[in-house]
Structure 1
Amino acid sequence: MTKKALVFISNGSEEIEAVTTIDVLRRAEIEVDVVSIEANGHDAVKCSRNVYVVPDKSLDDIKNNQYDCVVIPGGNDGSKAMAANAQVGQILTKHYQDGKVVAAICAGPRAFLAHKIGIDHKHTITCYPTVRKEFTDGEPYKLDTPDHLVCHSTHTEKDAEGKVYHLVTSQGPATTMLFALKLIELLKGQDEATKVKDGLLV
């Protein structure tokens, strides 16, 4: 079965983090929907360094869709917009609760905090260094050590179902490729991640 990922974008998103994640996931034949959270959801968004990215879909187009992975890129203004968007919060919450992979990079974890994603499960996260001050270590997340560029944190329910909840976070533009490769590993396995990694000369 084809794996599907959703990558949110907005005005002020960090373009390296958005576009690199989209590109690397597609190299693994993961179906990626690039979704604008802007009111004019089919218009190009102006990213943080004045690069324009054209979305595939709007929020209204995907409100009933189910994905294997949902990604929040960074960018100061973009991440704040996603943290303030109730529809983004609903989509993150649903996918998290369904045991899908939810992921954020750079300033993107702000959206996790704002929408209370996984706050009862004491996940460990990382983020852009200057954004760390917005989090209190241990409440509701533990902050990973700065030398860990990508953090995959899980919580497993201690019941018969044993559902696993996933948060994946990373630090910034230069760590995006490692971030995307971790998502491939989780969605399609280590062999596929290694194949894409080798092709990228990482």
Structure 2
Amino acid sequence: MGLRVAVLLLLVFLLFHVIIETPARTAGRTFKTAACLQLGCRALPASFLSSYGVDLGFISQKHAFKSQFSPVRFHSDQLKSVYSPPLSSIPQARAALNSAISKQQQLQQHRILHRASRSTMTKTALVILANGAEDIEFASPVDVLRRAGVKVVVASLGEGLIVKTAQGLRIEGDMPLEDVSPDAHYDVIVLPGGLKGAENCRDSAHLASLLKQQHAAGRWIAAICASPALVLTHHGLLENINSVAYPSFMSHIKHKGEGRVCVDKHYITSIGPGSAMEFSLEIVKRLCGEAKYEELRKGLCVV
């Protein structure tokens, strides 16, 4: 008799106190399973007690046993909180959890796409076109950079968009240099040479400001022929930078580099018209990588 009473008391204890806790490893499915287990654990002792004539009416009234069980607690690694809904709200809970997981997946996908878009972002170049610019030193970088897929903007330095080159060609730029915003971001600023062209670039206060901002940001500056000496040196941009220029202007260069094309830090300099293609390809290499450089070098028959 004493054993029977003890068993009955144990069953009553289970009826009141069974709470199942489980990690939400499978979201709504685990929650539903936990709820069903709790229902079974409570239904079994209730059925057994009823078979012994125990009246469970007071339990149903006091604890709303027929309509709502104690909460099933599950710990969600996604939500970092404890969610404790009544059994009747399982569908809503599952929908809310699925929504949260979906948003997390969308956010992760957005981050991946954003990283991919940044790595394949189109490079940009600002090429300065001044009256008296050396024709081949202007045309070569514009041509080669566009072949590489770089977005090239030609900024005219003068009274209007149309500029007269050293060899008398009349070329129309994309925009006046004065309209280039100081806040504009270009991966490289290119300065063609030519004596008169370099002098006009040297005397432009707006261009000097753009170059100094480009220098401060550590972005590429490329100059050829007389421009390294007359423009970059004049504005104090080649301090502690090795560079080259047209042979008759090398006396202006404090830190003399070597070769037909010289790369030091974020500067690319070159000697003159005959090195214009090498100069242009070097810019491509620095902006677009070795593979694109080799592709264009072979396609353009540059030895």
TM-score category (smaller protein): 0.7 to 0.9
Query: What is residue 190 of structure 2 aligned with on the other side?
Result: 71
Q: Per-residue deviation at 1:125?
A: 0.4
Point out where structure 1 has 5 or more consecutive residues left out of the alignment.
136-140, 155-165
Aligned letter for 2:281? L
- In structure 2, the residue corresponding to 1:143 is in which secondary structure? coil
With a CA cutoff of 8 Å and minimum separation of 6, indicate the structure with the bigger relative contact order: 1
Say yes or no: does 1:9 pair with 2:129: yes
The residue correspondences of 1:26-45 to structure 2 (distance < 5 A) are 26-40=146-160, 42=161, 44-45=162-163
What is the CA distance between 1:118 and its match in structure 2?
4.0
Question: What is the Cα deviation at residue 37 of structure 1?
Answer: 1.3
Are the equivalent residues in 2 in contact too, given 1:124–1:151 (CA < 8 A)?
yes
TM-score in terms of structure 2 length: 0.58
Aligned equivalent of 1:103, options 197, 222, 226: 222
Alignment partner of 1:130 is 2:243: no
What is the CA–CA distance in structure 2 between the aligned matches of 1:132 and 1:173, rounded to whole Å? 15
The structure where strand makes up a greater share of residues is 1
Deviation string, structure 1 residues 87-113 (Cα, Å, up to 9, x no partner): 111111111111110010000112101
Q: Which amino acid is the alignment partner of residue 62 of structure 1?
A: V
Match of 1:150 among 255, 261, 268: 261
Residue 78 of structure 1: how far off its partner (Å): 0.5
**Matched residues in 1 for 2:285 and 2:251: separation?**
30
TM-score by length of 1: 0.86
* Counterpart contact for 1:96–1:118, Cα < 8 Å: no
Q: Could you list the per-position Cα deviations for residues 51-88 of structure 1 after superposition, in whole angstroms to 9, with x for gaps in the alignment?
A: 12110111232223210000111000010111111111
Is 1:193 the equivalent of 2:293? Answer: yes
Aligned to 1:49: 167
Corresponding residue for 2:202?
A: 83
Aligned mates of 2:293, 2:179 — CA distance in 1:
30
Q: How far has the Cα of 1:11 moved from its partner?
A: 0.6
- Offset from partner CA, 1:25-67 (integer Å, 9 cap, x none): 0000000001011132x2x111111112110111232223210
Q: Which segments of 5 or more consecutive residues in structure 2 lack a partner in the other structure?
A: 1-120
- Consecutive aligned runs of 4 or more in structure 1 exceeding 3 Å deviation: none
Instruction: State the distance in 1 between where 2:223 and 2:178 align.
Output: 22
Shift of 1:133: 2.4
Secondary structure at the aligned position of 2:211 is classed as helix
What is the number of residues matched between the two proteins? 180
Do the aligned residues in 2 keep the contact of 1:36 with 1:55 (CA within 8 Å)? Answer: yes
1:76 and 1:49 map into 2 onto residues whose CA distance is: 12
Contact 1:125 1:144 in 2 (8 A): yes
When the two chains are superposed, the root-mean-square deviation of aligned CA atoms in Å is 1.1
Contact in 2 for aligned 1:102/1:168 (Cα 8 Å): yes
* C-alpha deviation, 1:144, in angstroms: 1.8
Q: Which protein is bigger by CA-based radius of gyration? A: 2
Answer whether contact 1:84 1:114 (CA < 8 A) is retained: no
